[in-house]
Amino acid sequence: MPSPIVLITGALTGIGRATALAFAQEGASIVVSGRRDQLGHELVDELRGLGAEAEYIRTDVRRDDEVRTLVDQTVSRFGRLDVAVNNAGTEGTFGPVSTQTEENYAATFDTNVLGTLLSMKHELRVMQVQGSGNIINVSSVLGKIGTANGSVYVASKHAVEGLTKSAALEVATAGIRVNAVAPGPIDTGFIDRVTGGSQERMDYMKAYVPMRRLGQSEEVAAAILFLASPKAAFLTGHSLAIDGGKLAG
């Protein structure tokens, strides 16, 4: 069986990077995208060091033409697209609703929502011709619940959940599955930025996770690999929470 062709947006740090490395270890061929060229080329070198065929394509997911080029170049290089992981995202600026601005709304929604929509638009364009494919969007537990001072980010991730369900229904009979992962607090740069590097805030965040720890990017990557695998063949339109039990309480 040929190795799967995997495209990952927002692949240069955190969950995206861990996912690229996990797919490489499984023998996949991988295209990674982002907007920091040095990190992109360094990641490709690391993936190739693991024996994977890998390419970096600079892409701003907020631009339709760049996303189209990303997908088309992936297919031109590898012949098809089997798995797409739409991970590009931003937390924007947290704060009370009364302090939110048009600029923060636009910056957050353009990346998290429009970026996911454009990515799926072009991924599905290819996958529907193939008659096969697998899309995993990276949402958040905050796409399922609310949190004070996180209104814009929360709303954007609720939108990602809705996009995932709608797309899954559209292509359910086309040999394509569309799912999401919804990470809880994961030990990435996102957490550092949200807590401001405060240990007190970090401990407070951990206290609200039943397992009393932060998750690791590799744990989210493992869930993404599961959703992309034949083991999840009857699973579509689902959002899998990786949250240490946070949503159970």
Catalytic residue list:
153
Strand order in the sheet with 83-86: 54-58, 29-34, 5-9, 83-86, 133-138, 176-183, 239-242
Report the run of H or E that residue 178 belongs to, with start and end.
Answer: strand 176-183
Helix axes 151-170, 102-109, angle to 10 degrees: 30
In Å, the largest CA–CA distance within the chain is 55
222 and 240 Cβ atoms separated by less than 8 Å:
no
CA-CA distance, 162 to 227, in Å (whole number)? Answer: 18
Residue 70 class from Cβ within 10 Å (0-12 exposed, 13-18 middle, 19+ buried)?
A: buried
Q: The tokens of 113 are what? A: 């929502």
Output the CA angle 169-129-232, nearest 5 degrees.
45
